[in-house]
């Protein structure tokens, strides 16, 4: 079994493929990933609609993913947005899994 979690971009199906330490795999759609961006800016966008504020539609094209230490990944999107850090447990949540035992 691999020692750490890893991610792979599937450009054809627009999925982030996460390979977990336990050998299992999850697939998360880019759109879902972007819509769940945990950064302050996006959390505000996902929040209650403010009709006075014009919002840019997020770009759902995943340009690259970087590892942040061994606790998170940082996707970079087609519009240059990369403020969101996704912890492995957050990715598990997005994939509909229980948090990994520590
Ligand atoms: Zn964001």
3-state SS string over 23-66? CCEEEEEHHHHHHCCCCHHHHHHHCCCCCCCCCCCCCCCEEEEE
Q: Is pLDDT above 80 for 102? A: no
Q: What is the pLDDT of residue 48?
A: 63
25-29: strand order across its sheet: 6-10, 15-19, 25-29
pLDDT tens string 16-67: 999 999 999 999 999 999 999 999 888 876 566 665 555 667 899 999 999 9
Q: How far is the centre of ligand 1, averaged over its atoms, from the C-alpha of 41 (Å)?
A: 6
Q: How far is the centre of ligand 1, averaged over its atoms, from the C-alpha of 81 (Å)?
A: 7
Q: Is pLDDT above 90 for 84? A: yes
- Stretch 60-79: mean pLDDT, rounded? 96
Would you identify the CATH topology of the domain 6-94?
NE0471 N-terminal domain-like (3.30.2020)
Of residues 48 and 6, the one with the higher pLDDT is 6
Q: How far is the centre of ligand 1, averaged over its atoms, from the C-alpha of 36 (Å)?
A: 8
Q: How far is the centre of ligand 1, averaged over its atoms, from the C-alpha of 102 (Å)?
A: 27
Q: How far is the centre of ligand 1, averaged over its atoms, from the C-alpha of 82 (Å)?
A: 7
């Amino acid at each position: 079994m691999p020692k750490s979690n890893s991610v792979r971009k599937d450009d054809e199906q627009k999925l982030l493929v996460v390979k977990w330490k336990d050998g299992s795999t999850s697939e998360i759609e880019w759109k879902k990933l972007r819509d769940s961006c945990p950064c302050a800016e996006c959390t505000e966008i996902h929040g209650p609609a403010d009709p006075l504020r014009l919002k840019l539609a997020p770009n759902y094209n995943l340009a690259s993913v970087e590892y942040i230490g061994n606790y998170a990944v940082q996707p970079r999107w087609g519009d240059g947005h990369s403020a969101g850090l996704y912890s492995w447990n957050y990715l598990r949540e997005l994939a509909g899994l229980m948090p990994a035992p520590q």
